[in-house]
Structure 1
């Protein structure tokens, strides 16, 4: 047994020297007060601002969602568990071999830094788009979106794609003073920022934190998402609430990467 411990310690010391990265352990997931189980039994990636049959002009900013039992993880530090990064497939079906790494070309666009968005600059025409999640080796997970067929009607060549992205965070699906029935989904969005696991300790990345405060004066419930999650299902009791969203710096405890955003909802 002592020899096994010695060999294991020696191997751990050698890994950084021979360039092999150790995957972070699978994260522990916390279940919060008022949190409900995901409504979908299978995980999926999806487009949050684009529907099948859409007719758009480019440049066009599109945003990505991911069911709440999975999280984003940049490729720079391998991460175990239900984690990955988005890929945008353009006019491509799902791969036939999920044990083969995804290619890098104009039809397989990788978002290995933990991005939740991109700007399409496609020429006029008809396209099929699909999202697919993959790990740090670009091996796909069985987490993907339904295919969307869109039509680009015009390309505005005088529009700079960079002007379509403003740094900040937001609630994607929460209208001010929304009236809701539980359970309901709360979707988070980070624009101009990258989302990662706290344990990855990557510079310029953050994780979401949601604070739900009852207007009745009861104690707020703070929900931290250190595993790169970008949404949650909630089922609080009937009443009025303030939802506050933060993006917490993964390298500097207590520092926020963006200004907080808040909205008020009423649960019926």
Structure 2
């Protein structure tokens, strides 16, 4: 599949192919890498790293992404696309430049910087949404970032998570764990939404707390990448309920499309999403469904 022609544009001020940024080293990109994950390894924001490689990008907020796609196609040799066909994803044997960090970072420091970079992305600053009487303000994600910087939430790498993320509010201090191979940054937003519930001492049930987690994940993806192809739950998930899990992803996607513009839906609108958690037969949702969950703060 070719990239959406509206998402790519030749640079107005071309960086030479042999451009060598100061104090840098070539890095062979791997499947699963992203600008955000690589930027975290060197203590940069994603756009800092992009402009480190392509310093002549325009300052306009729309054109740079199109020019970056051109560089990824013609300089890096990317062929893999995001599900919506609007952006290239890294794949071997391409290379980009990484700045040499001032000091080596531990895996946990890399993970922390990745979480902070995601929480402070422009799209997260637009994530104001609610269901029924529960509302999430985009400013709450910045509060979580500050809590991480203050040590109230620690970020750890856990290889056993297999490309997932988890939030543990009962630990002291609270903890976010990431797989070292995590590729879906929406999962980080999902777990940070649970941290918001904890930080604000909200009393809910699993249908609400997990529903908001999946909604935030879907909303982040749509705000960042636009509409995407349907996520299909694999059929080889037994003993999990395929219908319930598919409903969770389908309804999260549907409601996120509404929340992009209306910012609020009723509990009746979210009834199918919330109801699906009762029959998942896996993930611990069904055994906790309907029970009151209290959060004691950070």
TM-score past 0.5 threshold: no
Higher helix share: 2
- In the superposition, the TM-score normalised over structure 1's length comes to 0.26
Higher strand share: 1
Q: Which gives a bigger RCO, structure 1 or 2 (Cα 8 Å, sep 6+)?
A: 1
